[in-house]
Amino acid sequence: MVSCDKILQAAREKDVDVIGLSGLITPSLDEMVHVARQLKREGFKQPLLIGGATTSKIHTAVKIQPQYSDTVHVLDASKSVVVVSALIGKDKKDYMDEIYETYTEVRDEYLSNMKDRRYKSLAEARQKRLTIDFNARPPAPKPKILGSKVIDDISLQHLVERIDWNPFFAVWQVRGRFPNRDYPKLFDCEIVGAEARRLFDEAQAMLNDIIACRAMKARGIVTFFPANSVGDDIEIYTDDSRTEVAGKFFGLRQQAEKDADESYCCISDFIAPKGHADYMAQFAVGIFGCEELSARYEKENDSYRSIMAKALADRLAEAFAEELHLRVRTDYWGYASAEHLSTDELVKQQYQGIRPAPGYPSQPDHSEKSTMWKLGQINERIGLTLSEHYAMMPASSVSALVFAHRDAKYFAVGKIMKDQVADYAARKGVDISDMERELGSILSYDP
């Protein structure tokens, strides 16, 4: 993620008509607010475009536009040409007046809904935590190995068989109508079927070239360790004696009010407390070589093939994560050794356990990746690195924590209150203002 200072410096030094910000991970959302505030403070007049996987019209309307009025959210890159044309054309004022009116309505509706939302205090949420009887429903057995295993010999051809193609078509904005919405039924859609087939065939041709020329390589690492829950956190031990703590994963608990009989979940609920022999795993996988291939296409002014290469690398990374998680369940750990699921069933998460990732709904704190990287020596072992804001490099990478218990389930932490942020910051030993910045996208209040 490029820092605010670098963005502002580039805007000052160059004669630009429009400034664009793209956010791939949630910490970039608050950085965008900071950039917008600085642009206003320094008297910039250029329109500000907001886009990227983590952004939304709501976030733009609520958080960014109030800081810099000439701000527009762009759903994807394909829409940016139309938006920029409107922003630098003779009808710019009318266009921005309409945007401002729309965003004001979005912001007012959002804030109105937030006022009606109720939350439990952290103490109340903990009292209603998800409680698993680990005596009646014991933890998964001990993994076959403790420590790390590097996987750098998996063939891309094998990963192709695990690819979920639906997100690939979403990258190109190729969406069919129900019931021809999803691959491979998408090919039968009267409206986009032919285009979908052309894209797919061209993707297959590029994949064949990538495999034949060894232009990309898959590398991954999985680490198994003894673990026990301690309140909302999970202690990781150096060995099975459980006497020395190697690290700790910090959990966040749901606080938005639910029906009376529902539990308020935290990832630590799925790990047994001390007195039980429980375990956890983590993995990280990356597709190496895409940046070089994409740069070559850009040098040849072939943006289409550059985007295609990145889209395929992303699909291969997700397929690698699916394959590695499968091996964990059926072999390396073996708690579901009899599992036989199709690729479609895997995509639908019809397996035992979960694999949430830091920065995603079950644990929205990206900084937890630093613990993963330290415990698994991920950078040293496979060359997969973290940026200062915890973005993985290469970009086509996936990391996750693996929980094996049969009662483990995916959930979203949702918005949290200040009492939990203060408690969480104290547990992690950081300043509350730093924690508020890190968790800005899930705060139920304005710091």
Q: What is the CATH number of the domain that holds 408?
A: 3.10.196.10
- In this predicted structure, the answer to whether residue 52 has a pLDDT above a threshold of 80 is no
- pLDDT tier, 35 (very low <50, low <70, confident <90, very high otherwise): confident
Q: Which of 88-92, 255-259, 330-334, 433-437 is predicted with the least confidence, judged by mean pLDDT? A: 88-92
In a domain, 390, yes or no: yes
- In this predicted structure, the answer to whether residue 3 has a pLDDT above a threshold of 80 is no
In a domain, 424, yes or no: no
Q: What residue has token string 């703590």?
A: 245
pLDDT in tens, 383-405: 999 998 899 999 999 999 999 99
Asked if 92 and 238 sit in the same domain, the reply is no
What pLDDT shows up at residue 51? Answer: 82
Asked if 102 and 157 sit in the same domain, the reply is no
The pairing of strands 48-51 and 71-73 is: parallel
Q: Pick left, alpha or beta for residue 339 (phi over 0 → left; psi -120 to 50 → alpha; otherwise beta).
A: beta
Asked if 90 and 209 sit in the same domain, the reply is no
pLDDT top residue among 74 and 78: 74
Which tokens is 422 given? 């203060």
Cα(384)–Cα(397) distance, integer angstroms: 8
In a domain, 9, yes or no: yes
The pairing of strands 397-402 and 278-288 is: antiparallel
Q: Pick left, alpha or beta for residue 345 (phi over 0 → left; psi -120 to 50 → alpha; otherwise beta).
A: alpha
In a domain, 46, yes or no: yes
- pLDDT tier, 118 (very low <50, low <70, confident <90, very high otherwise): very high
- pLDDT tier, 76 (very low <50, low <70, confident <90, very high otherwise): low
Contact 212, 263 (CB under 8 A): no
In a domain, 375, yes or no: yes
Asked if 31 and 170 sit in the same domain, the reply is no
CA distances in angstroms from 29 to 164, 193, 442, listed in the order given? 28, 36, 11
What pLDDT shows up at residue 142? Answer: 97
Asked if 73 and 183 sit in the same domain, the reply is no
- Rounded mean pLDDT, 79-107: 80
pTM of the entire predicted model = 0.84
Q: What residue has token string 């990746």?
A: 369
Asked if 99 and 246 sit in the same domain, the reply is no
What pLDDT shows up at residue 203? Answer: 97
Cis peptide preceding 394, ω within 30 of 0: yes
- pLDDT tier, 209 (very low <50, low <70, confident <90, very high otherwise): very high
Mean pLDDT over the full length of the chain = 90
In a domain, 434, yes or no: no
Asked if 176 and 92 sit in the same domain, the reply is no
Give the CATH number of the domain where residue 46 resides: 3.40.50.280
In a domain, 435, yes or no: no
Cα(396)–Cα(314) distance, integer angstroms: 5
Cα(447)–Cα(46) distance, integer angstroms: 28
H-helix or E-strand spanning residue 132: none
Asked if 200 and 297 sit in the same domain, the reply is yes
Concatenated DSSP letters for 298-310? HHTT-HHHHHHHH
Asked if 192 and 67 sit in the same domain, the reply is no
- Rounded mean pLDDT, 233-241: 97
Asked if 285 and 205 sit in the same domain, the reply is yes
Cα(258)–Cα(412) distance, integer angstroms: 13
Number of domains in the chain: 2
pLDDT in tens, 355-371: 999 999 999 999 999 99
pLDDT in tens, 178-197: 888 899 999 999 999 999 99
pLDDT top residue among 44 and 6: 44
Contact 34, 4 (CB under 8 A): yes
Q: Pick left, alpha or beta for residue 52 (phi over 0 → left; psi -120 to 50 → alpha; otherwise beta).
A: left
Q: Which residues of 62-71 are buried (b: 16+ CB within 10 A; e: fewer)?
A: bbbbbbbebb
Eight-class DSSP state of 268: G
Asked if 81 and 180 sit in the same domain, the reply is no
pLDDT top residue among 14 and 144: 144
Cα(92)–Cα(85) distance, integer angstroms: 9
Dihedral in degrees, nearest 10, Cα atoms 378, 379, 384, 388: 110
In a domain, 264, yes or no: yes
- Rounded mean pLDDT, 7-36: 74
* Amino acid of residue 260: A
User: In which domain, by residue range, is 270 found?
Assistant: 147-414
- In this predicted structure, the answer to whether residue 110 has a pLDDT above a threshold of 50 is yes
- In this predicted structure, the answer to whether residue 1 has a pLDDT above a threshold of 50 is no
Asked if 255 and 315 sit in the same domain, the reply is yes
- In this predicted structure, the answer to whether residue 423 has a pLDDT above a threshold of 90 is yes
- In this predicted structure, the answer to whether residue 85 has a pLDDT above a threshold of 90 is no
